[in-house]
Amino acid sequence: MKKALQYIIPVLLSVLLLWYLFKKVNFKDAMDIVSHGVDYWWILAAMGISVFSHIFRAMRWHIQLDALNVKTTLMELTCSVFGCYAINLVLPRVGEIWRCTFVASRSKAHFTTVVGSMMAERLMDTVTVLALTLFTFVVAGQALMSFMEKFPVGADIVNFLYSPWLWVCIVVGILIAWWTLKRYWNTPLLVRLRKWSSEIWNGFYAVVKMPGKWKFLMLSFAIWGCYYFQLYVAFYAFDFTRALCFENGMAFGLLPCLVTFVLSSIGMAVPSNGGLGPWNIAVMFGLAVYGIPDVEGAAFSILQWSGQTVMLIILGIFTAVWTGVTSRAVMKK
């Protein structure tokens, strides 16, 4: 049942959010924009940038594994990342398990060691998204709040955030959590949770102590820089998003793209098939903050998501071929 839910829930979420998308947007108009109003060279450029993000991720992971004395090649790690994202298109979150299994078998390393390095890597990504979110609310908070206040739900959210009762509830919740932890500190469940938290922290702290930590940090910037600029480059593919890059006060489109990028990154946290559904809605919301209608936002999100998906499928096929060709050589070792 647990495994069935693990696979069924993401599919149901994707279907539900796509239904919401179809209900909200006139897809005939969206497809007309995609068919006649796009410079596809920019979409191809965005697809190319995405390949570099995967290579940089493999290079960053290589530093971690080296520090753990797990010997593998950059090509093996690169293909493990390619395969991971391709598998996640069909089975969300299963790609991470596959890439750890693949690397552990190729390097003859302990599976738990490889998983620990992967968890530390993902934790680093989570910290990065949180930092980017805070930065975005600082530099674009006024635009976000103005947009939300225009809509009834948005106004309710704004009022809720400013409500003193919210902060009273937060303080009370913290006190209850502190009392519960103190009272049940040595129960089996909390002991297990403490051990799990300690292992995650040790894996993350190992990044601080390991050789090449500054290179690790620079590669983290490179990964997220690629993620950002592949979206920014796609802005030039459409007339309406290209206009944001040349309007006064839009900082060459960097700020609208940042808002859209951060929201889409948060959307990717929702378990779905390759982000289909939550990513598209998040992108539409980000573009709507700057006055882009839903139909045009849907056209942009559909084409950009489709381009990245096609690239992941190509990289997944390449990985399958490369793995098959090299598997005999690995078995002979």
Q: CB neighbours of 82 closer than 8 A, spacing ≥ 6?
A: 54, 312, 315, 316, 318, 319
Cα–Cα distance, 48 to 175 (Å, whole number): 50
**Residue 333 belongs to a domain:** no
Q: Report the mean per-residue pLDDT for the chain.
A: 81
Predicted local confidence at residue 227, as pLDDT: 94
Q: Give the count of beta carbons closer than 10 Å to the beta carbon of residue 314.
A: 14
- Residue 190 lies inside a defined structural domain of this protein: yes
Which residues share a beta bridge with 238? 38
What is the per-residue pLDDT for 193? 76
pLDDT of residue 126: 87
Q: Where are the alpha helices (DSSP H) in 109-212?
A: 111-149, 152-162, 164-183, 188-209
Let me know if 62 is exposed, middle or buried by CB neighbors in 10 A (0-12, 13-18, 19+).
Answer: buried
For residue 289, the one-letter residue type is V
CB 83 within 8 A of CB 316: yes
Residues 158 and 153: their CA atoms lie apart, in Å, by: 9
**Domain that residue 164 falls in:** 10-327
Task: Give me the number of domains the chain comprises.
Answer: 1
Look up residue 320 and give its two tokens.
């399958």
C-alpha distance from residue 28 to each of 15, 241, 295, 296 (Å): 19, 20, 9, 11
Has residue 2 been placed in a domain?
no
| 332 assigned to some structural domain | no
CB 67 within 8 A of CB 206: yes
What pLDDT is stored for residue 10 in this prediction? 58
pLDDT 10s per residue in the chain (333 long)?
A: 555 545 555 556 566 666 666 666 666 767 777 777 788 999 999 999 999 999 999 999 999 888 888 889 999 999 999 999 988 887 777 888 899 999 988 888 888 888 888 888 888 888 888 898 888 888 777 777 766 666 555 555 556 666 788 788 888 888 888 888 778 778 887 777 777 676 666 656 666 677 788 898 899 999 999 999 999 999 999 989 988 887 755 667 788 899 899 888 887 776 666 667 788 888 888 888 888 888 888 889 888 988 898 999 999 999 989 988 887 666 555
Q: Which two tokens stand for residue 110?
A: 């302990």
Kindly state whether residue 57 falls inside one of the protein's structural domains: yes
Please check whether residue 187 lies inside any domain of the structure: yes
**C-alpha closest to that of 256 among 231, 285, 290, 228:** 290
Please report how the helices 213-235 and 294-332 are oriented relative to each other, as an axis angle in degrees rounded to 10: 140
